[in-house]
Amino acid sequence: MSYRYSFEDLLAPLHGHAPAKVDAVALHRRRVEHGHLSVGLKIHCLGDGGQFSTLVEGLGGAQKILDVNSYKHSHASLCLVLPPVGSARSAILLLECIEHFIGSALFSNPEIQIQVCSPGRLGARRSALLAICFYLGSDTLRRYTLGDLATSFAEHQNYPRGRRLVLYDAQGDFDRNFDWWKESGKHRLVEPQLPFENGRSDLLAGSGSRLDIQNINLLATLLVHAQYQGYWNQLGMQFQEELEALLQRHLLSGLVDAPWVRTDDPESDDDDDGFFAALQELVAYAFEESVRIKKKGRLFSGWHEIPARSSRGILQEVQSLLQKYRSELVRQSRLLDQGGVA
């Protein structure tokens, strides 16, 4: 990720507007929580970007920090790349600090598209699971056009990424200096660097929320650890199995085979349409489910108190799944801190 300024350069102007939050971010910038992955952020501004002008000038000007990065959303006037931080909590705080400075919202703002970057390239299947679970677990159900997912790298000569929710890195700068929890027998080995040279799996969350950042960080942690034998390998595999079973119950398991990410594999052709058909099916299913829930709510005011029968609906199930694994990961991590084996 190309940004030609230091973390301190960014925090200095923000401090005057949100001193407590900036101090908290500065203090915990590299702190990894419970072995989650570090979090990188890119902010694509679809408006004229005027609200960022003072910040951009303070960091050295557009030529230095924006033009150096040729990657951005096709409809964006600018893409501000933020330095990675150790946790979703710090990432959210950092965005809040910027909100204070620029005086306008970054979360849930249709003019701001948030891209959440996670270290480690996920395989095609796990990329599909990342995108699907992000979509269903978000606090907003979105409809897309393919144009919503177009970036300057969609048809890039060397790094064609297509129009996708999940995007690989383009082998740019990569900050490895975050703890990586590695599995060593039954024990945890904390390594001071990530085991990736420069691989990333990014998710174009669109108009995103705090929950989206937390969810993507949890999902990426579980799936990346499952793929690269991190400490949460077993938990990640278990999560993957449960998510696949959930999709199977809803007759959506075929969606996972669609090309949700464009890999460097020559076999991975430019099948935007194949991906978009799968995404549209998922969107239609989720919207239909939301209508069902609303109808149920009107017919039975206390519908949520009715015991679950065969299925509580895919949206509810995904929420429960995310909550279950979020809690389980933290529980096991706390056990480790108490000296036990999770």
Partner 1 sequence: MIRAHQPGSEPIDIPETIPNPVVVPKPTPTPTEPAPKEPIRFPEKVPSSGEGVKSCPGDLGVEPASAVPSQIKAPLRFRVISLVELIPSSPWFRLRSGMAIRAP
Neighbours of 342 (CB within 10 A): 19
- Among residues 206 and 236, whose Cβ is nearest to partner 1? 206
Q: How far apart are CA 25 and CA 182, in angstroms?
A: 25
- Among residues 125 and 326, whose Cβ is nearest to partner 1? 326
Stretch that binds partner 1, among 6-14, 16-24, 236-244, 270-278 (CB under 8 A): 16-24
Residue 293 binds to partner 1 (criterion: CB under 8 A): yes
Q: Is 193 left (phi over 0), alpha (psi -120 to 50) or beta?
A: beta
**Cβ atoms of 25 and 11 closer than 8 Å:** yes
Residue 92 binds to partner 1 (criterion: CB under 8 A): yes
Buried b (16+ CB within 10 A) or exposed e, 231-251: bbbebbeebbeebeebbeeee
Residue 212 binds to partner 1 (criterion: CB under 8 A): no
Residue 201 binds to partner 1 (criterion: CB under 8 A): no
Residue 290 binds to partner 1 (criterion: CB under 8 A): yes
The sign one gets for the Cα dihedral 321, 323, 329, 335 is negative
Residue 44 binds to partner 1 (criterion: CB under 8 A): no
Residue 287 binds to partner 1 (criterion: CB under 8 A): yes
Find how far residue 278's CA is from the centre of its chain: 20
* Secondary structure class of 291 (helix, strand, coil): helix
Query: What secondary structure does DSSP assign to 150-210, as a single string?
Result: -BTTTT-SSS---S-SEEE--S------S-EEEEETTEEEEESS-S-SS-EEEEEEES--H
The sign one gets for the Cα dihedral 151, 153, 156, 160 is negative
Neighbours of 324 (CB within 10 A): 12
Judged by CB under 8 A, the residue of 14, 96, 114, 134 near partner 1 is 96
Residue 141 binds to partner 1 (criterion: CB under 8 A): yes
- Among residues 263 and 316, whose Cβ is nearest to partner 1? 316
Judged by CB under 8 A, the residue of 45, 93, 94, 106 near partner 1 is 93
| Closest separation in Å from C-beta 171 to partner 1 | 33
Residue 189 binds to partner 1 (criterion: CB under 8 A): no
**Cβ atoms of 178 and 30 closer than 8 Å:** yes
Residue 73 binds to partner 1 (criterion: CB under 8 A): no
Residue 324 binds to partner 1 (criterion: CB under 8 A): no
Residue 303 binds to partner 1 (criterion: CB under 8 A): no
Residue 295 binds to partner 1 (criterion: CB under 8 A): no
| Closest separation in Å from C-beta 300 to partner 1 | 14
| Closest separation in Å from C-beta 210 to partner 1 | 6
Closest CA to 122 of 72, 168, 82, 57: 168
| Closest separation in Å from C-beta 140 to partner 1 | 5
Residue 207 binds to partner 1 (criterion: CB under 8 A): yes
Residues of this chain that bind partner 1 (CB under 8 A): 18-21, 23-24, 89, 92-93, 96, 137-143, 207, 210-211, 214, 287, 290, 293-294, 297, 313, 315-316, 319
